[in-house]
Structure 1
C-alpha cells in the first residue's frame, strides 16, 4: 500500500509538472512577475530564511505534514516530512546556505489549492568542518493550501545546473 501511495504521489507530481509545462490554462496564468498566489513568494522567502538560519523547527512548519511530502535530492527520493527533516538536520551540521535569484522568481496557479514555484538558487554546501562549495540549481516546489488556509510545500525538486 505504501508503495502504491508513493508511486501515486510521484505520478501526481509528474502530472502537475506536465500540466505546468504544457497545459494551456496553466501557461495562460503564468507571467514573468508570477501569477500564482502571492503567499507563494512569502512562503519561499520564509523557507530561505529558515534554511539559512538552520532553524529546523521553522522549516518543518513550512512543509506539508504527510508521508507523501516529496523531496528529491541528489537523485534520491525522500518521502515524508519526518524523513526530510532528518536529512535537513544532518545537512545543518555543515555549510548550508541558499541564495535565490528573486528577480527570476515565478509562480503559477495549478488550481484553487495548488501552485508551482520556480527560482534559480545558488547553494553553498559543505560537510561539517569542510569549506562550502557553491552549486547552482533550478528550484522547483509544489505548494498546497491546507484546510486552515495556510500554504505548505508539498514537494521540493532542485535541479542541478552544469558548472560553467
Structure 2
C-alpha cells in the first residue's frame, strides 16, 4: 500500500474530506437559495411594473372615453365583475355598455399613483389597490368628485394582463 492509499483509508482524512464536501454543498445551497430569492424579487418588481403600466393604460383608455380600448383590457369572461354605484355588472359586454353610458356624461379618473400597491397572488394573478378621485356625472347632471380606494384583480392571459374585477371601497384610509 502506498502512502496515498494509506492516507485515503484513514478515518481522519475521510472525515476531513466529508466536512469539505458538506461545506461545499452548504455553500452551493446558500448560493442557489440567494439566487432564487434575487430572481423572485426581480420577478416581483417586474410584475409590479407590468401591473402599474397596465393600470395606467386602463385609466388612459377610460379618460379618453374609448370603450373599444377599455374592452380590449377586460377579461373575456362572464365572471368579469365591476361593482359600480351599488350595482353588480358582470361580463365584458355589459361593463363596456355601462361605461359607454357613463361616457355620455362626465367621467374622469385621477389615480394617486404614489399610493399604488400591487400584490402577486400567483404569477398570473395580481391585486392592485390605488386611491382614485372620480369626477363623474350622468349626462345632463352636475359632476361630482368622489375618492375611492379601487381594488382590481388582474389576470395574465395569452394576450397580456386583463382586468378581472373592479371593486371600489369607499374608505380610502386603510388601517
- Shorter-chain TM-score category? 0.7 to 0.9
Residue 63 in structure 1 maps to residue 87 in structure 2: no
Larger Rg: 2
Structure 2 counterpart SS, 1:37: helix
Contact in 2 for aligned 1:124/1:134 (Cα 8 Å) = yes
Question: What secondary structure, in the 3-state scheme, does the structure 1 residue paired with 2:148 have?
Answer: strand
Aligned counterparts of 1:35 and 1:116: Cα–Cα separation in 2: 14
User: Aligned pair 1:156/2:166, yes or no?
Assistant: yes
Aligned to 1:78: 89
Deviation digits for residues 56-101 of structure 1, max 9, x if unmatched?
Answer: 1110000001111011112221110011011000000000000000
Normalised by the length of structure 1, the TM-score is 0.74
Deviation at 1:141, TM superposition (A): 0.2
Find the counterpart in structure 1 of residue 118 from structure 2: 107
Partner of 1:37: 48
2:48 and 2:171 map into 1 onto residues whose CA distance is: 27
| RMSD (Å), alpha carbons | 1.9
Using structure 2 for the length normalisation, give the TM-score. Answer: 0.69
Q: What is the correspondence of 1:6-155 to structure 2 with a 5 Å cutoff?
A: 36-148=47-159, 150-155=160-165
**Structure-1 separation of matches of 2:144 and 2:46:** 33
Segments of 5+ residues of structure 2 without an aligned counterpart are: 1-39
**Shift, 1:130, TM fit:** 2.4
1:36 CA displacement: 4.3
Structure number with the higher helix fraction is: 2
After superposition, what is the alpha-carbon deviation per residue over 1:14-70, rounded to whole angstroms, capped at 9, x for unaligned? Answer: xxxxxxxxxxxxxxx9xxxx7843211111101111111101111000000111101
Mapped partners of 1:48, 1:59: distance in 2: 9
How many residue pairs were aligned? 130
Higher RCO structure (Cα 8 Å, ≥6 apart): 1
